[in-house]
Amino acid sequence: MPRTYADAVDKLNGLQTNFAVLEAVRKSGGSINTHSLGEVIDFVERVGYKPEDLDDLNFIHVTGTKGKGSTCALAESILRHYNGPKPIKTGLYTSPHLMEVRERIRINGAPISQDLFAKYFFEVWDRLEATADKSKPGYFRFLTVLAFHVFKQEKVDAAILEVGVGGAYDSTNIIQKPVVCGVSALGLDHVSILGNTISEIAWNKGGIFKSNVPAFTSPQPQEGLTMLESRAKELHAASLQVAQPFTEKDLGGLQIGLQGQHQVANAALAVQLAKTWIEKVLGQKVTGPEDEGRRVPKAFEVGLAAARWPGRGQVMVRDNKPKITWFFDGAHTAESIKVCAEWFKKASADQSHGKKIKKVLVFNCTGPRDGDKLLAPLAQIQEQVHFDEALFTPAVTFASNTYKGDLVNNNAPMDLELTTQKSLAASWRKQLQLALEDRLVQGQDDRTTVLPSVEHSVNWIDDFVAKQTKTDGAADEVQVLVTGSLHLVGGVQSVLGCDVL
């Protein structure tokens, strides 16, 4: 019998670590697996490759806390649109996915097809089964091995590789000779694994540096930069340079394809990575006489403008009556949510222009995170944007009568009592009180609803929109900000029936 994409996803989900196991490790003080790279190399070799066999994929390897996925997407778009002697065939490996797991592995910017995913998945699966040791790697490691296999079989010219967590012991770090390495903005995340300080986190992130390989970083807090410089020296990197964010003058009116002011830093890093790749692999000089005094090469403008990264600073309009505009941003740290809040404040205002607008916040976060810190940046813009309602939902996409394998997440707790969501709702009301002080109008500014699934939340919004048409002085438009988790963003887009991008 033919083995389908759904069969592949079902087997892949069986490799997820159960949340209860993860929680037990966390509570026991368990730390990162320092033996992980040797284990991943073993899996790769059982599939038929040695680490040095991967060198011809010409990797760009990117880590960081915030913006590493966007940086990868920008660098990939630059290379794919570069007008060189021949087109550059790109491979892109990122995580997590929004709606379908195949989004994590892209060829020339597009997710591989379901048929191609199934084909390559079972080639890897069967090769592991054929060895004496039939064991399989965990979910993310399997996908990493699969990505290497796909890129080799598809013969990509450039493989852009996003680190999963950290860097030093991440499964992507088995590559030996990347063309160039990059570090996007650092922040405090995954502290139970990577450390409680920026310096400790920078140590892990800097672990992707390689001997005689140039590296670039976005501007960092001084303690983070100091540690990155130390790691670059320790690991004999060819160089470590700071890519300063672009200014409006640098861009000269160019609109970067990814929305949000923070993308000027990611774009600057991506430009340095792509420029280095072209110079080292193609042996070409990117800049010409027309680039004198410019920080953005003319040859990169099309790629920067054409870049797309679903779920991050994404705006989608639905022609309901009234019109509904969805704002998606999978921000999941206090720093990234602050950036998201500023983006939404500007983006929602740009679309208002005197219209009567109702606004809804949909929020979820996964893992042991501080609801007060995460929600504070959103509460602090309430006076300007005025969310009429705030919805909180667990990481359960569909109600029990529907199912999509790509969205199964055994790493997240089953919050049957909605305890986390109720706590987040309480944090939201508390942060509004702190932000608005005596300007808070109880029952108007702090209206919250806790719902058991993403599907329930989308249905609630549909009802909310429908009521506007039956109400005197109804809204001309409803704006919905979905943030706090990429899993939430993907869940909402799946329920809405969006296409995989």
Is residue 162 annotated as involved in ligand binding?
A: yes
Q: Give the C-alpha distances (Å, rounded to integers) separating 205 from 94, 160, 162, 165, 170.
A: 16, 16, 12, 9, 9
Q: Which amino acid is at 76?
A: E
Could you give the CA distance from residue 416 to residue 343 in angstroms, rounded to a whole number? 33
Helix (H) or strand (E) holding 226: helix 222-234
Q: Around Cβ 335, how many Cβ atoms within 10 Å? A: 18
Could you give the CA distance from residue 351 to residue 336 in angstroms, rounded to a whole number? 22
Q: Which amino acid is at 326?
A: W
Is residue 95 annotated as involved in ligand binding?
A: yes
Q: Which two tokens stand for residue 137?
A: 């790697």
Q: Around Cβ 292, how many Cβ atoms within 10 Å? A: 7
Is residue 135 annotated as involved in ligand binding?
A: no
Tell me the CB-side half-sphere exposure of residue 222, using CA atoms within 13 A: 0
Q: Which amino acid is at 248?
A: E
Q: Which two tokens stand for residue 335?
A: 């720093």
Please give the full DSSP string across 39-56, using - where no structure is assigned.
Answer: HHHHHHHHHT--GGGGGG
Would you say 430 and 439 are in contact if contact means Cβ atoms under 8 Å apart?
Answer: no
Is residue 294 annotated as involved in ligand binding?
A: no
What SS3 state is found at 361? Answer: strand
User: Which of these, 342, 371, 111, 140, lies nearest to 329 by C-alpha position?
Assistant: 342
**What would you report as the CA-atom Rg of the chain, rounded to the nearest whole angstrom?**
23
Is residue 312 annotated as involved in ligand binding?
A: yes
Helix (H) or strand (E) holding 430: helix 419-436
User: Which of these, 471, 428, 433, lies nearest to 449 by C-alpha position?
Assistant: 428
Q: Which residues contact 28 (CB under 8 A, 6 or more apart)?
A: none
Could you give the CA distance from residue 381 to residue 226 in angstroms, rounded to a whole number? 34
What SS3 state is found at 360? Answer: strand
Residues placed in the known binding site for ATP = 312, 329
Residues placed in the known binding site for Mg(2+) = 95, 162, 190
Residues placed in the known binding site = 95, 162, 190, 312, 329
